Structure 1
Amino acid sequence: MAEQIKPWRIVAVRRLSEAQLEALSGMAEVDYFEDVDASNHADFMAALSKAHGLIGGKLKLSEAMLAKAPALQVVATISVGYDHLPLEALSRRGILLCNTPDVLTETTADTAFALIMATQRRLVELSNLVRDGGWHAHIGPEHFGVDVHGKTLGIVGAGRIGAAIARRGALGFGMPILYTAASPKPALEQELGAQRRDLEALLAQADIVCLSVPYNADTHHLIDADALSLMKPTAALVNVARGKVVDEPALIEALRRGRIRAAGLDVFAEEPLPADSPLSAMDNVVVAPHIGSATHETRDAMAQLAVDNLVGALVGSGPLTPVNEDVWRRTFSEAQET
């Protein structure tokens, strides 16, 4: 029996299960990389130069790399955010970009609320106290935390994830909800009694400020020294968006000087967080290694959505969650006409 000729070539980079890789291998020649670094970058580029599809997590592409991939039609990132990819260059070259929204909404909201609880109740700091042998008597006021229930929760960016965080706060902890958004969210207001505020008013009124905005030019250092100065000295900042939404040196200074009480951070300006970052040594900061969607169930669902996007785009049935949808419409229309 003659060997089946596979019409496509796909480059896959980490985060795919054996079953998902097997499914892709059934329809395409697949070059799989556990990771891409200086040691195998040349091999990666050699594979990419022939590829019709690219799928994976933490993909980093430049215009120069795209110029060496003339056959590339689809990039399926296993993430919601795509600020690490050159969207304009992809669209200009007619390359479809797909992401993985929705499936990580609840998991990321869980992470945000875990950070809220940890900062308010000083869980990491007090856990370390016990581990280090410092618990010698009854805990006194110097180690007390702050209640979560009934506190005002400010959501900066009331998209899917922001709304899920708000529901946890309002329905689970009786928290009044303030939010910022480009347009009103009447459904959220009706469901939770949420109130829309401009950023300055929200920062001034909220006891906990939670960031869930996408990262772009408008949100770069959205929370800077001036914004932090508007917050209550008893307030906490939680960030599950992107690290560069916050001016990190300004945040460190605000925490050191007690301009805000605490911070819970899952994302950072530089990742991994440098070992010498002051944030990792501050008792009033809870840090996590970008674990917003890091559960077995969610990461598998994200990878499966990326696989479905890639396959749907290549075979012509259509991607489920395209980012630059105009590229798909244009490509689909041209295919229909030929």
Structure 2
Amino acid sequence: MPTPTLLVLIPLTSENRALIGAFFGIVDASDSSSRDEAIAAHGENVRAVLTNGTIGISATDIGRLPHLELIGALGAGYENIARDAAKARGIVVVNGAGTNDDCVADHAFALLLAAVRAIPNLDGACRAGRWRDDLPMQPNFSGKRLGVVGLGTIGRKVARRALGFDLEIGYHNRREQPETPYAYFDSLMALAGWADYLVVTTPGGAATHHLIGADVLEALGPRGYLVNVSRGSVVDTAALADALAHGAIAGAGLDVYEGEPAPPALLTGSERVVLTPHVGGRSPEALAASAALFVENATRYFAGQAVLTPV
């Protein structure tokens, strides 16, 4: 059987390219300027696409790939993949569910600790020669209340890490999960009003657009901290900037934000927010695991077997 042609819409490490290249003929279109050219030149032969949730693939581009059978998302996200267009064509969509959960949960805690204890600001002050007596004291981190918005796999891992800090845990989901030992809140407002820390791990997409707005931030309160490791669209940037500027909340940690990859201009001037450039799920281990899962899914699909992580 000839090697299937794979259109790659995202950058790959050399190790992952070698792994995937052992099973596919790779057509590289990892930047927007090369995509049209690659599809025009190779679209007739493409049987699989590798992308991620941020880049996705449009219905228009799917329409230009007449023999496309499989779309893979490197990582858990798939919100910008035109799934309706794929479904209409019978194209199978898979993702890297579970491959970067630990990395994202670790990063969520790094952001939360950094925000509550003001680590970036203290680092800057120390380098500038300022001693502790000139600086405001930060609150204890442990012994507080942590609210998880979206108790999926990553949310559960965040909650598990919270136990080590003696945090009381609550969560909000569309449906209660009776098997969990954590307190369930049937409204996001109720959870925000209860919590000291609010960690957002819900999926992106239209259903959660601006889920965290001015009302939720007001309920979180002037001693509350927000962390978002889901998708930038979930948090209303303007509302968050206003809340930080006026002390409606104490601080925030964001790995994702609206308008990526451009930095969030409304937030970059605030010392109350810790920002990282959407790296929560990125580590050598996580990327290698996601690439290996894509290869396993693709191998199964082209052998006529069920895929492991269908979307």
Q: TM-score range by the shorter chain?
A: over 0.9
* CA distance 1:181–1:6, shift in 2 (3 Å): same
Please state how far the C-alpha of 1:302 moved relative to its aligned partner. 1.1
CA distance in 2 between counterparts of 1:40 and 1:245 reads 28
**CA distance in 2: counterparts of 1:102 and 1:153, whole angstroms:** 23
TM-score, structure 2 normalization:
0.93
- Aligned-partner SS, 2:32: coil
Corresponding position of 2:5? 9
SS at match of 2:268: helix
117-126 or 180-189, larger mean C-alpha shift: 180-189
Q: 2:212 aligns with which of 208, 211, 223?
A: 223
How many Å apart are 1:182 and its aligned residue?
Answer: 2.0
1:158 aligned onto 2:146:
no
Query: Deviations for 1:90-148, whole angstroms, at most 9, x for unmatched residues?
Result: 111111110011121111100000011001100011111122x141x3435x4211111
CA radius of gyration, larger in? 1
Aligned residues: 309
Within 5 Å, give how 1:169-188 maps onto structure 2. 169-170=162-163, 172-188=164-180
Distance 1:27 1:121 in 2: 47
* 2:73 alignment partner in structure 1: 77
Q: Secondary structure at the match of 1:177?
A: strand
CA contact (8 A) 1:205 1:232 kept: no
1:113 aligns with 2:102: no
Distance 1:318 1:21 in 2: 24
Give the deviation of 1:70 after TM superposition.
0.7
TM-score with structure 1 setting the length: 0.86
1:296 corresponding residue in structure 2? 284
Evaluate the alpha carbon distance shift between residue 165 and residue 25 of structure 1 in structure 2; reply closer, same or farther with a 3 A threshold: closer
Equivalent residues of 1:157, 1:211 under 8 A apart: yes
Find the counterpart in structure 2 of residue 244 from structure 1. Answer: 233
Does the 8 Å CA contact 1:211/1:240 hold for their aligned counterparts?
yes
Query: Displacement, 1:27?
Result: 4.5
Matched, 1:47 2:58: no
Residue in structure 1 matching 2:266, options 278, 284, 287: 278
* Aligned CA distance change for structure 1 residues 28 and 167 (closer, same or farther; 3 Å): closer
The whole-number CA distance in structure 2 between the counterparts of 1:257 and 1:49 is 56
Q: 1:209 aligns with which of 184, 198, 208?
A: 198
- Check the 8 A contact 1:11/1:55 in 2, yes or no: yes
Deviations 1:220-278 (A, max 9, x none): 11111122121121100000011110111011001000000100000001111337x13
Structure 2 CA distance for partners of 1:27 and 1:257, relative to 1, 3 Å: closer
Q: Where in structure 2 are there 5+ consecutive unaligned residues?
A: none
Residues of 1 paired with 2:174 and 2:13: CA distance? 38
* Structure 1 residues 273 and 134, CA gap change in structure 2 (3 angstroms): farther
Percentage of pairs with the same residue: 31
Q: Which region of structure 1 is more displaced relative to structure 2, 35-44 or 93-102?
A: 35-44
Give yes or no for contact 1:55–1:310 (8 Å, CA) kept in 2.
no
Aligned residue in 1 for 2:85: 89
Structure 1 contact 211–238 (Cα < 8 Å) conserved: yes
